[in-house]
Structure 1
Amino acid sequence: MNALGVHALVWAGSTSPAEVEQAVRSTKEAGYDLLEFSLHDGLTMDTAHARTTLEQAGLQVACSRGLAPDADVSSEDPAVVARGAQLLSKSLEITAAIGGTMFAGALYSAFGKAAAPLSTAGRNNVIAVLRDLAKQAAEHDITLMLEICNRYETNVINTAHDALLLADDIGADNVKIHLDTYHMNIEEADMVRPVHEVGDRLGYVHIGENHRGYLGSGHIDFTAFFHALADIDYTGPITFESFSSAVVAPGLSNDLAIWRNLWSDGADLAKHAHTYLVNGLSAARHP
């Protein structure tokens, strides 16, 4: 029922043509339906090549990104906000060019621990930029997915409730909520109530362990989470996200503090995760 995806950083640290081919081939071999590319370091992607490679493999594609401090749309500095809006717009065009219909991630702020709470002016800037981005996305039949990140990566939205309020204020039908179990483990009281609260506004899911390693090797209650997804009849994409110092994307790895080698064999990791997801989701539908 759900398209199962994997993050490209399981396979490769860049979006060069050779590494795109490697990621597509490996994703297909591991049994996934969808490949997610981070555009954090990928604005020079050869989009025509990537689209052809994905289409030949029969894979769906999603793109994601966060923002840099000098392009933070939650800033009060108009020049900084403008740079962020331009970066989001360009990233959206790349998503469309490679055949994507989902643009996800922390689209609302820079990565990193903020020095102070989000200001009213900063939040208003986020709303204005994402309203414009949603209009641009609608022209390409793309849905924006607001990924909820932990307090050490953003001060804009940290919980499902925060995200719903922001989406309400943006007020666009093609803005959905993006839950990530790694971040939920830090910020939410449990793995069930946020899923129920978001309900049919859930558009995208990241599955990741509390340490972002092998699924099942940490302490996240995936059984409860899978049951909650079944409760709301979620049929959207579910993408496995894991990071290790074995595969480095210069900008993203540093921003996400990927200092440890949690795995060295991406193929084994991805195949294990695919089996884990298939079995867990199936069991949740047949309690």
Structure 2
Amino acid sequence: MQIGVHGLVFTGTFDEAGIRTAIEGTQRAGFDLLELPLMDPYAIDGALVGRILGDHGVAMTSSLGLDAAHDLSSEDAAVSRKGEALLERAIDVVAEAGGAHLCGVIYSAMQKYTAPATPAGRAASAAALARLGERAQQAGITLSLEVVNRYETNVMNTARGGLRFLEEIGHGNVHLHLDTYHMNIEESGMLEPVLDAGERLKYVHIGESHRGYLGTGSVDFGSFFRGLSRLGYDGPVVFESFSSAVVSESLSNTLGIWRNLWDDSDDLAAHANRFIRDQLRAVETIALH
């Protein structure tokens, strides 16, 4: 199992200097991998990222959230195709950088919708993801769809909803990505969704209920990590948190960061690394009971 951290913990820009900042922060905090957000895949030099990662002995995954202009679930075929092209480029970047995983809200726009997803919109997204799953598989990359709350998508908001959507996609290289922040809003508990997801769970985000320091909010991490242990989960476990002390004002607004719960990236990251590893170690000891 690899323990990682989201790049926005360290920087809001991902030019060469920002990429170095994120990778160095990841290494300093003791994480195994960096989750690199591909906010503009066309602006990222995957080969450069790979070289910097190699210099620091850090692995990488990538994520992104689509906007309205690239909404894969749009009934406008041109918009959906634009989203598919963006994700094709994202897959290429991850492959160039030597990564093995692309995840996030890559099935719809990451936004508040005012109506449920239509059958036509779901079908458009599912068809595109089946093609993208095949492209990613040929590149040695796994795709995982992040299950987020009702204010960020109308396609799926729970693990069971995600499983139903995977059936619509029908490709074995497209899986689920659970996030404790979103689960704390939408799920009935933190154990059952992990077990329900089963072998289709390939990626995990660890985030507190208020996006701040782990263990200071309302997320039931104990049950969640027990679920991972019972499942025998061995994929990435990645800490995610945001503060306008690091990211830009526009991105802060997009993410709804109306108040800052931290301003020291290194302290936050080191604490999260210890917290996650301690939780994982604690559930390991249950076998001794």
TM-score (norm 1): 0.97
Matches within 5 A, 1:232-251: 232-249=231-248
Question: Partners of 1:253 and 1:164 in 2: how far apart?
Answer: 31
C-alpha distance in structure 2 between counterparts of 1:97 and 1:249, whole Å: 27
1:37-48 paired onto structure 2 within 5 Å: 37-48=36-47
Cα distance in 2 between the residues matched to 1:221 and 1:153: 22
CA RMSD of aligned residues (A): 1.2
The residue number in structure 1 matching 2:95 is: 96
Q: Is the 8 A contact 1:104 1:146 kept in 2?
A: yes
Check the 8 A contact 1:177/1:203 in 2, yes or no: yes
Counterpart-to-counterpart distance in 1, 2:85 and 2:258:
30
Structure 1 runs, 4 residues or longer, greater than 2 Å off: 249-255
Deviation at 1:250? Answer: 5.8
Q: Is 1:70 aligned to 2:97, yes or no?
A: no
1:182-201 superposed matches below 5 A: 182-201=181-200
1:119 maps to what in 2? 118
Residues 89, 249 of structure 1: alpha-carbon distance in 2 compared, 3 angstrom cutoff: farther
Q: Which range moved further: 4-13 or 81-90?
A: 81-90
**Are 1:40 and 1:251, in contact at CA under 8 Å, matched by a contact in 2?**
no
When structure 1 is superposed on structure 2, of 246-255 and 95-104 the one drifting more is 246-255
The worse-fitting range, judged by mean Cα deviation, of 35-44 and 234-243 is: 35-44
> Which AA in structure 1 matches 2:66?
L
Matching residue of 1:55: 54
CA–CA distance in 2 between the matches of 1:253 and 1:86? 26
For 1:80, the equivalent position in structure 2 comes to 79
Conserved? CA contact 2:71–2:79, under 8 Å: yes
Counterpart in the other structure of 2:33? 34
Q: In structure 2, what residue type is equivalent to 1:243?
A: F
1:163 paired with 2:153, answer no
For structure 1, which runs of at least 5 residues remain unmatched after alignment? Answer: none
> How far 1:249 moved relative to its partner?
4.4
- TM-superposed CA distance for 1:86, in Å, is 1.0
Equivalenced residue count is 286
Match of 1:150 in 2: 149
- Extract unaligned runs of 5+ from structure 2: none
User: Which deviates the most, 18-27 or 149-158?
Assistant: 18-27
Query: Aligned partners of 1:46 and 1:76: how far apart in 2?
Result: 32
The one-letter code sitting in structure 1 at the alignment partner of 2:30 is: G
After superposition, residues 6-25 of structure 1 pair within 5 angstroms as 6-25=5-24
Matched residue of 2:54: which SS? helix
Alpha-carbon distance, 1:48 to partner: 2.1
Partner SS for 2:82: helix
